[in-house]
Amino acid sequence: MQIRLATERDIDQLIRMRYDFTLEYAPEINADYEIFYLECKTFLEKAITGARWFIWVAEVDEKVVSHIYIQLIDKVPRPGRITYPFGYVTNVYTLPLFRSKGIGSQIIKSVERWAKEGNLEFLIVWPSMEGVPFYERNGYANAAEAMELHL
């Protein structure tokens, strides 16, 4: 297994995984794959070549089997300290046949090392209820400070 940053050659696999991930957890969604493909491809091309999104993949025999997306969020500078961005963790997914093999934990540990080396202040994730045990096993803790307003 190889853990690495995604490249443009991974785009088709990432699109298919995002589509399948959505339908796995929300099978009632009736989305046209071709329309989704074009929108997601545009997003991924910008994300992979840009400086704000980092997509980590786990690859087995040249097949992407797991991924984690990280968006860097800049903070407003404060006097008296150096301000570092934080990472928003999202779209974490492992193909069903590759689950419970430690791949998700390996990829998240790679992201953690990368975040420390890049001086990110912290990583944050809003997991699904099913994902909470995974994040807890990997050192994440509940944070009660965040609030949200649904628009």
- Model confidence pLDDT, tens digit, residues 95-130: 999 999 999 999 999 999 999 999 999 999 998 888
Look at residue 150 in the predicted model and tell me its pLDDT. 76
Q: Residue 77 belongs to a domain with what CATH number? A: 3.40.630.30
Provide the number of structural domains found in the chain. Answer: 1
Is residue 25 within 8 A of residue 86, CB to CB? The reply is no
Give the whole-number percent of the chain exceeding pLDDT 90: 78
In-domain check, residue 147: no
72: domain range?
2-137
Look at residue 98 in the predicted model and tell me its pLDDT. 96
Q: Tokens 């999202």 map to which residue? A: 90
In-domain check, residue 145: no
In-domain check, residue 59: yes
Is residue 23 within 8 A of residue 72, CB to CB? The reply is no
Q: Looking at residues 127-142, what average pLDDT do you find?
A: 89
Cα Rg of the chain (Å, integer): 16
Look at residue 105 in the predicted model and tell me its pLDDT. 94
In-domain check, residue 143: no
In-domain check, residue 99: yes
In-domain check, residue 149: no
**What are 92's two structure tokens?**
């974490």
Q: Looking at residues 124-150, what average pLDDT do you find?
A: 85
